[in-house]
Chain A
């Protein structure tokens, strides 16, 4: 009986394709609801376009069109002037999950894993049954290729419906057209907002956007200077894990361990390589492919014990404090701005760099929490704010000394926008939908240092402002209370009216002379020439509607992310405990 059951079960046991897995778990990719699906699709397409342009050193020119087709269906068209895609690659890139160029290398880019755009294609075919239409051209004298693609989800393979020559007016570039079910919204988590924030942190990009109401909005480029091209680096030994090391050992073409170490890793010279071999008690002349698990583990331990310089940082390209601040100036009319770009740092062997910009006061409302803008590798993060280590770091930083009110463990309050950018060769997101950054202690500590540095700049201003405010109050005292001084004297000494007014006059003169000149602080809207009112209005809606949307989202997130969040909390707790342990050890 029992054995037959096992055979019966065996007949049902089979491979699960990645595509099938994500078809069922679409929330992991950012398709948990129709609002988000629309945004995620635009985001994936735009991210790819920008990556492609930058890699090819072309100043990006992006056109985004969202067309309302009725019945909750939308057509999204994203077109770029990038290098185009070679014909044979087009089907795999758009219709095969986990296929891409960015996963295996260590270099800062927006896309990382090779899921995004193909997931959008899959979602589109699930909800509308329609294929994705791709048109790409690699050069002025080359023909444009037109594809209609679906994903064979059972086998995670592209299914080509049409493959023909197409027409593309541009000399090179790619055009993606996807029909999907969605809901168009305005506000904090809208396509408009996403594109606007993209423009803020990518001042070299020109975006033309046509929204579902057929209104054209142009986000003009602010600078012709391309961001510094990040350079691909080899892995740093400090970040390598056993499995990866074994894979690298068996795949390398180098003949000795010594050569393998110096050539396949960054920051390992012959001296360092010798040290590692010595500490691992493995001869440098060993053939890498012969190294088995036990010895590999020894190598890992030896690496941990060896002092190796931190990874090179030319693989990351920060926005720069000047441009970041300029971006904020455009979006927010504030009375004070400051920005900080930290030096690069390392987590798990991956270089990363943190930047923070703050806008204080001005048009911003003083009620409620500060406005937090999160960016990772120049991509705005609009969802899952509270699960993100950026949010945690802002909330765990004590802002009271910097002049903001704050209750413990939550975002500070006040008329402030804080923009935080993390650039890294590998941004550790909490899920494939890339909405929140994982809580690595090294990242959190670097974030906090950046926030504190910016906070200290902010403090200089808030202190000055408070001082001036107090001074003004004192000055108003002079006006207010001098008549009472005179009146008290009149009552006691029976002064005449003329004597009273002369007392008032003399006192006022004497006291005001003593106060001296006043520093100028406060808000003068005309002082910020960078501010663009129309730009600021894009994607924003009334506060009430925004709240409603937030609530809805919070509710949906609570449903979808229950397990995820629990895990995160656990993770956080673990980290805290680790920290405490480390502390007690120190003591």
Chain B
């Protein structure tokens, strides 16, 4: 796999070099990474990149980007060869050594990195680039089998033994092994709700693995759950706030991936995930306290209904979004506390998990 990336980098550079030698202008193709250029692959359940590519030919106006792309590829090659890693921020600082070709802002270097990633067709972790953010928190009946970075010896991390704390998903998860007897995985939007469930031993009672996503789940978190779920054949439930952000940004990305990472969604999504709450239906049935939808919420709803290939394929989601648009309100996970602080543990989650009819796909 790793050598694949190396080979691809060399091939690309070789092509550019040969073109120049034969006095023709070289160009680099990068897939366009946006919702406009993805299709929802129904069979495997994720967003797949369409054929649209951005063709960048070497001209006076693109020469800077061209140089930066090649330098970034050279950096990646060096990282892979030396079995090293660089965070996105570190890569940005490395570029400060490139004289005029240096980046002036990290967002620029991130874009070029994403371009290289999409061009080579592997995820950036395999290119030696890792994100700054951590992968998410885990608690419950799970043993993660990892390696000691200094000795290379196998170590076993028991996620039951973190007390009131939690195991933290590393940024690269490809090498991990799992042991578990849990029945399902519950992915939660907010750290607050995760804390409550850990504190009251919910994972023990329900025999599950709890994951705190902390907003939109990172690639590592998605990959971790995907691998765990695939290997141990565990169902995955997602529990977010009842608002357009929870539905369209968190859950949709979790389940089918994002437009921006469409070239690698295949590995970085959890198609088997199910949405258990909070649904617009729940808001009504549990008589939850609400807040009015903000303008951005409404915009997001409309946008999702109009442009999101995933929503377009799921009537139930369309219905739910339209319902929310009509109700003009949203409700947070914490709103369940209206019925008692532990209502979520004693009633809500058990009821919802039991009754698959209340889920959204």
* A residues apposed to B, CB below 8 Å: 474-475, 477-478, 480-482, 484-485, 487-489, 491-493, 495, 502-503, 506-507, 510-511, 514-515
Cross-chain contact A484 with B99 (CB below 8 angstroms): yes
Cross-chain contact A488 with B63 (CB below 8 angstroms): no
Q: Which chain B positions have C-beta within 8 A of A515?
A: 60
CA A477 to CA B70, docked complex, whole Å: 16
Residue of B13, B63, B68 near A493 (CB, 8 A) is: B13
Q: Residue on A with the closest CB to B60?
A: A474
A-contact bits for B1-28, CB 8 A (1 contact / 0 none): 0000000011001101100110101000
Given the interface pairs A474-B61, A477-B60, the reply to whether A489 lies near B101 with Cβ below 8 Å is no
Cross-chain contact A488 with B17 (CB below 8 angstroms): no
Q: Which chain B positions have C-beta within 8 A of A477?
A: 60-61, 63-64
B265 at the interface (CB under 8 A from A): no
CA A503 to CA B22, docked complex, whole Å: 10
- Chain A nearest CB from B4 CB (Å) reads 15
Q: Which chain A positions have C-beta within 8 A of B71?
A: 484, 487-488, 491
B73 at the interface (CB under 8 A from A): yes
Q: Residue on A with the closest CB to B75?
A: A491
Residue of B20, B66, B68, B69 near A503 (CB, 8 A) is: B20
B360 at the interface (CB under 8 A from A): no
Cross-chain contact B100 with A481 (CB below 8 angstroms): yes
CA A305 to CA B281, docked complex, whole Å: 70
B58 at the interface (CB under 8 A from A): yes
Cross-chain contact B63 with A478 (CB below 8 angstroms): yes
Cross-chain contact A485 with B63 (CB below 8 angstroms): yes
CA A511 to CA B100, docked complex, whole Å: 18
Q: Which chain B positions have C-beta within 8 A of A510?
A: 23, 25
- Chain B nearest CB from A500 CB (Å) reads 10
Given the interface pairs A484-B71, A485-B70, the reply to whether A495 lies near B63 with Cβ below 8 Å is no
Residue of A474, A484, A503 near B101 (CB, 8 A) is: A484
CA A484 to CA B64, docked complex, whole Å: 8
Cross-chain contact B59 with A492 (CB below 8 angstroms): no
Given the interface pairs A507-B20, A510-B23, A515-B60, the reply to whether A485 lies near B13 with Cβ below 8 Å is no
Given A482-B63, A484-B68, A492-B10, 6 other A-B residues pairs in contact with their CB atoms under 8 A: A477-B61, A481-B100, A481-B101, A488-B70, A488-B73, A514-B59
Cross-chain contact A484 with B67 (CB below 8 angstroms): yes
Cross-chain contact A481 with B66 (CB below 8 angstroms): yes
A-contact bits for B300-312, CB 8 A (1 contact / 0 none): 0000000000000
A–B complex contacts, Cβ < 8 Å, 5 sampled? A477-B63, A481-B63, A485-B70, A491-B71, A506-B20
CA A484 to CA B70, docked complex, whole Å: 8
Q: Which chain A positions have C-beta within 8 A of B58?
A: 485, 507, 511
CA A507 to CA B68, docked complex, whole Å: 16
Q: Residue on B with the closest CB to A492?
A: B13
B327 at the interface (CB under 8 A from A): no
- Looking at A477, A485, A511, A514, which has the most chain B CB atoms within 10 Å of its CB? A485
Given the interface pairs A481-B63, A484-B101, the reply to whether A489 lies near B23 with Cβ below 8 Å is no
B77 at the interface (CB under 8 A from A): yes
CA A286 to CA B267, docked complex, whole Å: 102
Residue of B63, B68, B70 near A492 (CB, 8 A) is: B70
- Looking at A485, A492, A493, A510, which has the most chain B CB atoms within 10 Å of its CB? A492
Cross-chain contact A491 with B74 (CB below 8 angstroms): yes
Cross-chain contact B77 with A506 (CB below 8 angstroms): no
Q: Which chain B positions have C-beta within 8 A of A492?
A: 9-10, 13, 70, 73-74, 77
- Chain A nearest CB from B123 CB (Å) reads 20
B98 at the interface (CB under 8 A from A): yes
Cross-chain contact B13 with A489 (CB below 8 angstroms): yes
Q: Which chain A positions have C-beta within 8 A of B14?
A: 493
- Chain A nearest CB from B97 CB (Å) reads 11
Contacting residues of chain B (230-279) with chain A, CB-CB under 8 angstroms? none
Q: Which chain A positions have C-beta within 8 A of B68?
A: 484
- Chain B nearest CB from A417 CB (Å) reads 35
Cross-chain contact B67 with A485 (CB below 8 angstroms): yes
Residue of A481, A485, A488, A506 near B23 (CB, 8 A) is: A506
CA A503 to CA B68, docked complex, whole Å: 16
CA A514 to CA B16, docked complex, whole Å: 19
CA A57 to CA B20, docked complex, whole Å: 76
- Chain A nearest CB from B237 CB (Å) reads 46
- Chain A nearest CB from B163 CB (Å) reads 48
Cross-chain contact B66 with A485 (CB below 8 angstroms): yes
- Chain B nearest CB from A221 CB (Å) reads 52
Q: Residue on A with the closest CB to B65?
A: A481
Q: Residue on B with the closest CB to A503?
A: B20
Cross-chain contact A481 with B64 (CB below 8 angstroms): yes
- Chain B nearest CB from A491 CB (Å) reads 4
CA A515 to CA B60, docked complex, whole Å: 8
Cross-chain contact B100 with A489 (CB below 8 angstroms): no
- Looking at B17, B25, B98, which has the most chain A CB atoms within 10 Å of its CB? B17
Q: Residue on B with the closest CB to A471?
A: B60
CA A485 to CA B100, docked complex, whole Å: 12
CA A484 to CA B62, docked complex, whole Å: 13
Q: Which chain B positions have C-beta within 8 A of A489?
A: 13, 16-17, 70
Q: Residue on B with the closest CB to A480?
A: B100
CA A487 to CA B68, docked complex, whole Å: 10
Cross-chain contact A475 with B9 (CB below 8 angstroms): no
- Looking at B9, B60, B99, B101, which has the most chain A CB atoms within 10 Å of its CB? B60
Q: Residue on A with the closest CB to B61?
A: A474
Q: Residue on A with the closest CB to B73?
A: A492
Given the interface pairs A481-B101, A492-B10, A493-B13, the reply to whether A514 lies near B70 with Cβ below 8 Å is no
- Chain B nearest CB from A469 CB (Å) reads 14
Q: Which chain B positions have C-beta within 8 A of A493?
A: 10, 13-14, 17
Cross-chain contact A488 with B67 (CB below 8 angstroms): yes
Given the interface pairs A475-B60, A485-B63, the reply to whether A506 lies near B21 with Cβ below 8 Å is yes
Contacting residues of chain B (95-148) with chain A, CB-CB under 8 angstroms? 98-101
Q: Which chain B positions have C-beta within 8 A of A487?
A: 67, 71
CA A488 to CA B77, docked complex, whole Å: 11
Q: Residue on B with the closest CB to A507?
A: B20
Residue of A481, A482, A491, A507 near B77 (CB, 8 A) is: A491
CA A53 to CA B87, docked complex, whole Å: 84
Cross-chain contact A511 with B63 (CB below 8 angstroms): yes
CA A482 to CA B70, docked complex, whole Å: 11
CA A514 to CA B59, docked complex, whole Å: 8
- Chain A nearest CB from B146 CB (Å) reads 32
Q: Which chain A positions have C-beta within 8 A of B21?
A: 502-503, 506
Q: Residue on A with the closest CB to B98?
A: A484
Given the interface pairs A489-B16, A492-B73, A495-B17, the reply to whether A481 lies near B67 with Cβ below 8 Å is yes
CA A514 to CA B66, docked complex, whole Å: 17
Q: Which chain A positions have C-beta within 8 A of B17?
A: 489, 493, 495, 503
Given the interface pairs A489-B13, A492-B13, the reply to whether A511 lies near B59 with Cβ below 8 Å is yes
Q: Which chain A positions have C-beta within 8 A of B74?
A: 488, 491-492
CA A305 to CA B235, docked complex, whole Å: 86
| Shortest beta-carbon contacts, A-B, top 5 | A488-B70, A484-B67, A491-B74, A492-B13, A484-B101
Given the interface pairs A474-B61, A477-B61, A481-B64, the reply to whether A488 lies near B13 with Cβ below 8 Å is yes
Q: Which chain A positions have C-beta within 8 A of B99?
A: 484
Q: Which chain A positions have C-beta within 8 A of B78?
A: 491
